Amino acid sequence: MLSLSSRLVERAVEQFATLPGIGRKTALRFVLHLLRRDKPAVDAFVDAIRQLKESIRECKHCHNIADGDACEICLDTRRDATVICIVENIQDVISIESTGQYHGVYHVLGGIISPVDGIGPADLHVDTLLRRVENAREVIFALGTTIEGETTAYYIFKKLARRDDLAVTTLARGIATGNDLEYIDELTLGRSIANRIRFEP
């Protein structure tokens, strides 16, 4: 148990301890670190968090986080706006962007259908997606391979207007890089044999 002889420190420790994966000991290390820094540095820290919450907006096109009306991805004219990658949340946008392999745009659903958590189709940004799809030539489902992810993909798939010139794709399933065969579940291994690809040494 950490006995802190200051209510101000105690409060700051409690707040840092609300962050994911942070316990009271680490929170105290953060607080002591901030106490040692000069006021402008702490002000910059506080301002960045305050502005984050106050100024951040949602992109009117794709519901990604945005500094203004639209996010930087939707505003980027080099990106192919006719290819729409459907993801659950902004974290997924960041993950896919980090691969550097995708040059289309996104659509952030803001969740996936999950009756257990009380999330139904009406809670997701499906209507805006259907409108955007009218001008698209491909939609990619980049949702999790859970029951919820597959249910959500299926729900949206059924809503999509049948059009011959619209490709509907999903992320490739298979074994991950660096995996030993013995640790892969049977379903994944089965699919990766069935969908085997050309060996390119």
The full DSSP string for 53-103 is: HHH-EE-TTT--EESSSS-HHHH-TTSEEEEEEEESSHHHHHHHHHHT---
Q: Is 127 in the site for a copy of itself (CB under 8 A)?
A: no
Q: Is 117 in the site for a copy of itself (CB under 8 A)?
A: no
What's the closest the beta carbon of residue 51 comes to a copy of itself, in angstroms?
A: 6
| Rounded CA separation 3/146 (Å) | 44
Q: Is 81 in the site for a copy of itself (CB under 8 A)?
A: no
Rank residues 89 and 192 by Cβ distance to a copy of itself and give the closer one. Answer: 89
Among the residue ranges 48-56, 80-88, 174-182, 190-198, the one whose residues contact a copy of itself (CB under 8 A):
48-56
Rank residues 55 and 77 by Cβ distance to a copy of itself and give the closer one. Answer: 55
Rank residues 26 and 170 by Cβ distance to a copy of itself and give the closer one. Answer: 26
For the chain, count helices (H), then strands (E). Answer: 8, 6
